[in-house]
A and B are shown apart, each in its own frame.
Chain A
Amino acid sequence: MAMQEMLIWIAKASYFLAAVLFILGIKRMASPVTARKGIIQAGIGMVIATLATFAITGAHNIELIIAGIAIGVIPTWLWGKKVAMTDMPQMVALFNGMGGGSAAAIGAGELLKMSNPNSGEHALVTVSLAVLGALIGSVSMTGSIIAWAKLDGLMDKRFNFPGQQVFNFLVFAAALVAGIALIAWHVDPRLVVAFFALALLFGILMTLPIGGADMPVVISLFNALTGLAVAFEGYVMQIEALIIAGTVVGAAGTFLTQLMAKAMNRPISGVLFSNFGGGGSGEAIAGSQKPIEASDAASLLYMAEKVIIVPGYGMAVAQAQHKIWELTQALIKAGKEVKFAIHPVAGRMPGHMNVLLAEAGVPYDLIADMDDINPEFKTCDVSIVIGANDVVNPAAKTDKSSPIYGMPILNVVDSRQTIVIKRGKGTGFAGIENALFYADNTRLLYADGKEAANQLISELKGIEGGGGH
C-alpha cells in the first residue's frame, strides 16, 4: 500500500509541476521573443503530466490507454505538421472540439458510473459539475466541428430556416431540463443518453447560422468553453491540474472573446443569435469608383515616402501574402518607410493576418495594431488596401444608419492616397457599400491580389531602371 501511496504522490507532484509550467508557458507567450520557449515549456509540462499518470492508472486497461494515445497523437501530429497556415483557424477549431469531446466523454463515463444503483450517494456538487462539464464539452465539440466544416469550405457559410432561434432555444432548454433532472432526480441511464443527444445537437444548431466573419469570436468562445468543461470534469475526477489549466484557459478565452466582440462592435449575443446585414444597408454613396492601372499605381508608390499596407482576409484567399512581402521589400529597398496595419478581427481567427504575414517572412516589428497605427495614416502618402473591406469603411464612424456603425476601423481614409486592390466591384461580408472606395483620393486596382502585387513589383523595377541608376 505504501508503494501505491508513493506513486500517487509522484503523480500529484508532477501535476503541480505541469500546472506551473503551463502558467509560465502561457505567460511567456505574451512576447514574440519568448513565445516559442513558452509553448515548449508548456509541452514539457504536458509530457510530464501524461507520463506521471501511468503511475496512477497501473496496469488495468493499459494497452487500451496506450493504443488510444497513439491513435489520438499520430494523425493529428502529422496533419498539424503539414497543414497550410491559411487553414489554421479550422485546425484550431477541430483540435478544440476534440478537447471538448474528451471532457464530455469523461462526464459520460462518470454519469454512467453514478447511474449504477450500487454506487451509493453522490455529492450534489459532483453530479452538477459532471453534468455541466458534459453539457459544455458536448456543445463545444459539435459546435467546433461545424465551425471547422464551414471554415474548410465543406458546407455553406450560413444555414437558416424559419423559427430557427425558437427551435434552437427549445433544444437548449430541453438539454438543460434533462441535465437538471439528472442532478435533482436521479442519474437514469436513458436520461443520460437523451441529455447527451440534446447537448450535441444544440452545438450543431447553434453554430449553423453563424457566418465566416464572425468566426474569430466563435472559435475563441468554444476554446473558452472547452477550458471550462475540462475544469468542471477535473473537479469530478479530483485532479487539480485539470481544474487549474481548464480555468486559466476558460478565463483567458472569455477575455479574448470579449476583445474580439468589442473589435467588431457586436455583443457576443449578437454574434450567436443574429446575422449581419439584417438591418439597414446604410446611406447610398455618391460618386464613382476610380480605377487605376498598375503602372500608375507603381508611380504613386515610387513617389511616396511612407506606405501603409492594410491586408484583410481577401489577401489570404488570394494567397498573396508572399508577393505582398516581396513588394514590401522592393519598397523598403527604394528607401520607403513601410508598415502593415492589422485590424483585430481581420481573418478568420484572432490575429490570423499576423500569422500569415509571419509565414511569408514579414518581421513582426513592421506590423502594427490598430490603435498604434491609426494616428499614422495622416502622415502616410499611400495606403494599399488588399482584401480588406468592412474594417476600413469610414461609414462605421460617420453613418449612423450603417449596420457596422460604431465598429472601430483603420483610418485608411485619412491617408493622402489610397490604392485598393480588389477583384471586382462587390461589397464586403456585411454587404455594405464602402465609402472609402468612392473617395476622391482612392484609386482601385482591379486584379487578383497576387497578380496585382506581381505587376506592382515589375512596374517598380521598370521605373527604377528607367530612372538612370
Chain B
Amino acid sequence: MIDGFLALYIFMLAAFTGKEIIGRVPVILHTPLMSGSNFVHGIVLVGAMIALAQADTTLAKTIGFIGVVLGAGNAAGGYVVTERMLEMFKSSKDKK
C-alpha cells in the first residue's frame, strides 16, 4: 500500500526527473520526444488490464474492456510513430 505522503514524494521526484530530462532535448527532437512521452503514458494499459481482471458485472467489464482497448492503442500507436520518426533522423556523416 502506497500511502498519501509516499505517493507525494514519488510524484515530486518523478516531476523533477521529467523536467530535467526534457530540458536538455534540442528543438530538432521535440516532436519525437512528445510522441515518445505520449507512448510512455501508454503504460496506462497495465492499470486498465488489472481493472478489467477485477471486473464482475457487465457494465464494469465493458468499461474495463474500453480502457484496455484504448490503452493498448495508445501504447502501440505511440511506439510505431515515434520509432518511424526517429529512424529518419540522420547526420551527414551517416549518409553514404
Q: Which residues does A use to contact B, with CB under 8 Å? A: 15, 18, 22-23, 25-27, 29-33, 35-36, 38-40, 42-43, 46, 49-50, 53-54, 56-58, 60-62, 64-65, 67-77, 79-81, 83, 85, 88, 91-92, 94-96, 98-99, 101-103, 105-106, 108-110, 112-113, 123, 125, 141, 219-220, 223, 226-227, 230-231, 233-235, 237-256, 259, 342, 344, 349-352, 354-355, 358-359, 361, 363-367, 369-370
Contact = CB atoms under 8 A, between A and B. Distances in A.
16 contacts: A26-B21, A36-B86, A46-B43, A61-B52, A68-B68, A69-B69, A72-B74, A73-B75, A76-B73, A88-B85, A103-B47, A110-B51, A220-B34, A248-B14, A365-B91, A370-B27
Given A95-B38, A98-B70, A259-B30, 20 more contacts: A15-B46, A50-B49, A62-B53, A65-B49, A65-B52, A68-B68, A85-B88, A95-B78, A102-B74, A105-B66, A105-B67, A109-B63, A223-B38, A227-B41, A238-B1, A243-B14, A252-B18, A254-B19, A355-B88, A358-B88
Contacts of A219: 34
A105 B30 contact: no
Question: Does more than half of chain A's interface fall in helix, strand or loop, or is it mixed?
Answer: helix
A70 B50 CA distance: 16
B82 to A, nearest CB: 5
A99 B48 CA distance: 10
Given A105-B67, A106-B67, A239-B46, A73 B76 contact: yes
B11 A247 contact: yes
Contacts of B94: 363
A351 B46 contact: no
Interface of B: 1-2, 4, 7, 10-11, 14-19, 21-55, 59-61, 63-95
B27 A354 contact: yes
B72 A39 contact: no
Given A106-B67, A220-B34, A349-B31, A125 B4 contact: yes
Contact of A363 (B19, B87, B95): B95
A450 to B, nearest CB: 20
A105 B29 contact: no
A77 B77 contact: yes
Contact of B47 (A106, A255, A367): A106
Contacts of A73: 72-73, 75-76
A168 to B, nearest CB: 25
B18 A243 contact: no
A70 to B, nearest CB: 8
Given A39-B36, A227-B41, A354-B27, A69 B68 contact: yes
B89 A22 contact: no
Most buried by B among A62, A79, A94, A255: A255
A248 B21 contact: yes
B46 A49 contact: yes
B53 A344 contact: no
A53 B17 contact: no
B81 A92 contact: yes
A71 B69 contact: yes
Nearest to B87: A36
A71 to B, nearest CB: 5
The 10 closest A-B pairs by CB, nearest first: A72-B72, A251-B18, A351-B30, A105-B67, A68-B68, A80-B80, A57-B53, A76-B77, A247-B14, A102-B71
A452 B7 CA distance: 57
Contact of B91 (A26, A76, A364, A370): A364
B73 A72 contact: yes
B22 A255 contact: yes
Given A36-B83, A256-B30, A350-B30, A109 B51 contact: yes
A244 B7 CA distance: 10
Given A250-B18, A364-B89, A72 B68 contact: yes
Contacts of B53: 56-58, 60-62, 65
